[in-house]
Amino acid sequence: MNAGPVAVVTGGARGIGRATAAALIARGYRVVLGDLDLAVTRATVEETVGPIAVWINNAGIMPTGRFTDQGAALSGRVVDVNYRALVTVSGLVVARMLERGSGTVVNMASATATKPLAGLAVYSGTKAAVVAFSDSLRRELRGTGVRVRVVLPNLVATDLGAGITAPRGFSALTADDVAAATVRAIASRRFATTVPGWLGPLLSVSRLLPHPVQDWIDDRVDSDRIGLGGDPAARAAYLRGLPPAE
C-alpha cells in the first residue's frame, strides 16, 4: 500500500488545527503537527517522513480588548506568532516545494482581515497582512505547480474565542466546520475560502459601504461584543494558557 501524502499543520494540538489534522488523516494524509521551531519541523519531517505536500499555517493567538490597553509586548507577540512566523516558515517550505514543482500552502486568516473589528486591532491587522502576503505569493508562484490558499473563518467556538459571544444574527462555527473548509481549500481553484461560504459575498458588499453605514450596521448587530465584550475571566484564562513567548 502506498503511503499517503505528507501534511504539516501548525498549531495542531487543539481547536481548528487538531480538527484539521483529524480531517486530513481521514483522507489518507500522513499528518505531522508543527513544533514551535517551524524551521526544524520542516527539516525533520522531510528527513524522517517524506516530502511535504501540504503545509497549513494555522498557529495564531487572539488577545481582545482596546489597543491602548494591550501593551507593546503583547502586540508584538501577536505580530510574531500570527504573521512573522508564517512568513519565515513559508519561505523555507515554498523553496522546497519549488524544487519539486508541487505543493500547497494554506494560510489561516480570518473574516476580520477584511472586516476589522473594535478590540481586535492588532489581530485584524496581522490577518489582513496574511491575506495580502498570500495573494502576492500566489501570483509569484503561478505556473510553478506550487499553490497558496487562504481560509477566512468567522468566529469559532475554540479556546481562541473563549468567553466571546457571536453578534446578533450570527452563530459561532465549530472547529470541524473550519477544518472541513480547510481541507476543501487544498484542492480548490479559489484563492480564498470563507467560512461559512455565504460570508464571502457579505464581506465584499460590506467593503463597498461608506464607513458611517458600516458603523451603523455594526451597532445594530453589536459586533463590538467580539473584541470588546468577552467575558474577562475567560479571556484572561485564554491568555494564561498560551505557550510562553520564545
Q: Residue 40 has what pLDDT?
A: 59
CATH topology of domain 6-240: Rossmann fold (3.40.50)
Q: Residue 39 has what pLDDT?
A: 62
Grid cell 444574527 — which residue? 169
Where in the chain are the domains?
Answer: 6-240
Catalytic residue among 29, 83, 123, 238: 123
Q: Is the pLDDT of residue 49 over 80?
A: no
Average pLDDT, whole number, for the chain?
A: 93
Q: Is the pLDDT of residue 204 over 90?
A: yes
Sign of the C-alpha dihedral computed for residues 129, 134, 137 and 138 taken in this order: negative
Out of 39-48, 64-73, 101-110, 140-149, pick the least confident: 39-48
CA dihedral 224, 67, 235, 244 (to 10 degrees): 150
Query: CB under 8 Å to 130, separation ≥6 — which residues?
Result: 57, 82, 83, 86, 107, 108, 109, 113, 150
Tell me the average pLDDT across 175-182: 97
- Our answer to whether residue 123 is catalytic in this structure is yes
Q: Which amino acid is at 91?
A: G
How is 22-67 classified by DSSP, letter by letter?
HHHHHTT-EEEEPPSSHHHHHHHHHHHT--EEEEEE-------S-H
Give the tens place of pLDDT for each residue, 134-143.
Answer: 999 999 999 9
d(CA 47, CA 175): 31
Band (pLDDT 50/70/90 cuts) for residue 12 is confident
How is 57-95 classified by DSSP, letter by letter?
E-------S-HHHH-HHHHHHHHIIIIIHHHHHHHHHHH
Q: Residue 246 has what pLDDT?
A: 61
Q: How far is CA 54 from CA 37, 146, 156, 210, in A?
A: 18, 10, 23, 39
d(CA 23, CA 26): 5
Contact 24, 183 (CB under 8 A): yes
Band (pLDDT 50/70/90 cuts) for residue 47 is confident
b/e string for 127-159 if b means 16 or more Cβ within 10 A? bbbbbebbeebbeebeeeebbbbbbbbbbbbbb
CA 151: distance to chain centroid? 7
Supply 107's cell numbers.
494560510
Q: Residue 97 has what pLDDT?
A: 97
Rg of the chain over CA atoms, in angstroms?
A: 18
